Structure 1
Amino acid sequence: MFESVIAVSLLLPIAWYFGYRNGKQKASGKSAARQLGLSKKYFVGLNYLLNEEADKAIDTFVSMLEVDSETVETHLALGNLFRRRGEVDRAIRIHQNLIARPSLSAAHRKMSLLELGYDYMAAGLLDRAENIFNELVADQTHKQASLKQLLLIYQQTKDWQNAIKVSEKLQPGASSSTKTEIAHFYCELAENKLYHQTPKEAVSYIKKAISVDANCARASMISGDIEFSLGRYKQAIKAYRELVRQDIEFLPEAINKVTACFKQLNDTKGLLQFLQHAIEMGAGVSSILVYAEEIKAEKGDIAAGQYIAHQMVERPSIKGLLKLIELYLKHASDSAKPSLLMLQGVVTKLLENKPVYHCNRCGFDSKALFWQCPGCKTWGSVKPIQGIEGE
């Protein structure tokens, strides 16, 4: 309702002006019937406004506006307003009407075309929007805005090759954020190749991702997964070591495969060294629990429980507490077991209701890992939750 009032406030004085101007045009050959029609429309619009029918008033006043150099900006502002209100059809009609005017200047036509592109984006007509923005890329004034919209379109349609091309044009110098995005686009292409069981092509894209962004943890993770699937466990471990160096917060995503690699190589000592190094570097509770499992296999439940309890002094963790309860339940007295079982149930339910991942940019929480945040659309900002309720 507030935005309707704004629209009427824009249109009312202009509509009055055209009603007045056309009333003065009798001497220049304008017909009395046309004057009367305009005057009637003006008062019809006023009547709608007085009856608090703002939408009808807007439609009436818009129909009175002639398109000339004095009113183009008003039409553009109205179209923008309609689009923000979600009335995309109205916005499209206004901007299409502007573009159809042969008297429209080249600059105003391009402005109207840009707004029409935004309208099509809002309406989900991405193919039409793409055509418009591709046309406007050639114009220096609207190049950056058009490239940004094309990048959004190609991400929505998962056209990663074109997304890479547009990103490179958008910022020729390639800032760190742009490099991050391009590396993720290559990772998307790699995962698509893996889905279609062409690992060699996937490896090629991963190499390109790392060449663009040497700190792309996702690329190292995919590289490790590819090597693991091919049974090249030493190469997989090498990739996972890179992951630790690049962003240790993502290690929980690979920790099971890391463990499996060392197991396949019968290298328990190497696994313990890997885990110890990761824990010293700040790895979360997932690495601590894997280390505890190795202690349990060698020295038993009590030693494993003592190790977890020691780690929890510095790194309090609900997951660690749950594992500790599980270990102590096996050796608890009959009188202590009911309390421990009750506590185990409470902690389990607490973890079930907690999100696992968190976007460090907008705060979006989820139980699944998204490489592009569904909330703010930032790449690489969603990570495993750290701290007492996470890692």
Structure 2
Amino acid sequence: MFNSHEFFKQRLSAHMKELSRYLRYMFNGHLMIALFFFISVVAVYYQQWLAQLSEDFPTSLIIGALLGLLVSYSPVRTLLKEPDLVFLIAAESKMNAYFRNSLIYSFVIQLYVILLVVAALGPLYFAEFPDRSGNMYLLTIAIVLLFKVGNLIANWWMLKVREPGIRQVDLTVRTLLNITVFYFIIQGNMLMAGITTVLFTGVFLYDLNVSRKQPGVVWDLLVEKDQIRMQSFYRIANMFADVPHLKNRIKKRQWLVSMVSRLPFTQSHTFDYLYRITFVRSGDYLGMYIRLIIIGGLFIYFIPNVWVQILFVILFLYLSCFQMMTLYQHHRTTMWLDIYPVGKAYRQQSLVKLLFQLTLFQTVLFSLLFLFMQEYAGFVIALVSGTVFTFMFINGYVKSKLV
């Protein structure tokens, strides 16, 4: 007899083994050193910023918005796979225990994000409201957990609705209500928080009523949602190890391709062309590169110490170059590359050249930011140190890994 509870345990065990296999590579020594440095610097300047916090700073709005968004984003991990569309639909009436365990698992794996966010916002909360006791903040955390459960259940109910427009409107309304509730709670206006909570409860009951009118579980939607989340994880893991399950997304971006593909039509530039259009069109290389530039630029701009700014320049150059190295293995399963009449040395040289160009361009952008801030010494130091680091890292570490 089919036991959905035991089936979920088997599916969860296989899922955890899959995650642990890649997490070993992701949390390696290089990443841990970078994270330790990053967290240490942020913590120091966070405390200094809190000491100079102005009275008109919108603390209630910021904490309320962050907590509201935190509880609103409550995806349900069902761990369903494509074959389940054939083999499990017939057992839908026996899947109650499976989906209940899915909700519990989804809540548990999202707890760490809640703990990180409330721990990070705690110093800001007590800096703005020094007269409040710790019990008040603990009560706020308890309310966060309660709303997290409510939003998770509401999301599950709305996954029974096939129309994406209805789901999007429901999520938008609940998100606005969540932000408003926590804004009033942080502000100390419990009356308005209570009224907004009643409105949220009304939306919650409406979602229950809508879900009860649906004929059953939308299996293809559940499988699609879970596949999207796993592919996101695989794309991150692919920066550190080969992921055979990764399905590469291809985007046209014709105007960018036309800009980067202007190369001589010779054998020596074969892989130059391939890696350039791969960087622009495939996976998330271009988006990741741009995000690292923006995030690094923000840290450099807001950190007041020029030497720490230089360290962040080096850190983000390292992160960009390290993650772009996966371009070398991007076409590992494409057999027709082996019939190219092009030597392997050209392939390595092409990637090294592209990495040097990307990292040098990033160095120039970071250096120009110092000019914008009128830090002329910082401009020179950033440009020189960034160029030297790029040359040494690519010719030392990167070349040794391209085998």
Q: TM-score range by the shorter chain?
A: under 0.3
Structure number with larger C-alpha Rg: 1
TM-score between the two structures when normalised by the length of structure 2: 0.22
Q: Which has the higher contact order (CA 8 A, sep 6+)?
A: 2
TM-score, normalised to structure 1, is 0.23
